[in-house]
Amino acid sequence: MTLPPRVSDRAFARLAEIAEDTGEVKALRVAVDGGGCSGFQYDIRFDDPAEGDLELEKNGQKVLIDPVSLPFLENAVIDFSEELIGARFIVDNPNASSSCGCGISFSM
């Protein structure tokens, strides 16, 4: 069954913290581009909504996914991870058959 990606409460909470720290609310864009060491890579950045974007929203915080990236992110979970090596937004993607050590690049 095809399901859209979902965003964890932890990721939405981190977006709210960033908005509070910076004084501005920015949407987080999660996109998939060709490239990287495994064939595809995630492009995660702050951006403005564009026509055709899927907008996932909670408590005024938004995550954007463009229509080209959406099929690559079916059933994926967008999360926020804090580890010793650093804190970052991550994508837990069941469609990826393999990924590289950096967690940004994957193949299908």
- The model's pTM: 0.84
Could you read off the pLDDT of 43-59 as tens digits, one per residue?
999 999 999 999 999 99
Please state the φ and ψ torsions of residue 72, each to the nearest 5 degrees.
-75, -15
- Assess whether pLDDT exceeds 90 at residue 31: yes
Domains and CATH numbers, the chain: 6-100 (2.60.300.12)
State the CB neighbour count (10 A cutoff) for residue 31. Answer: 19
Whole-angstrom Cα distance, residue 107 to residue 25? Answer: 32
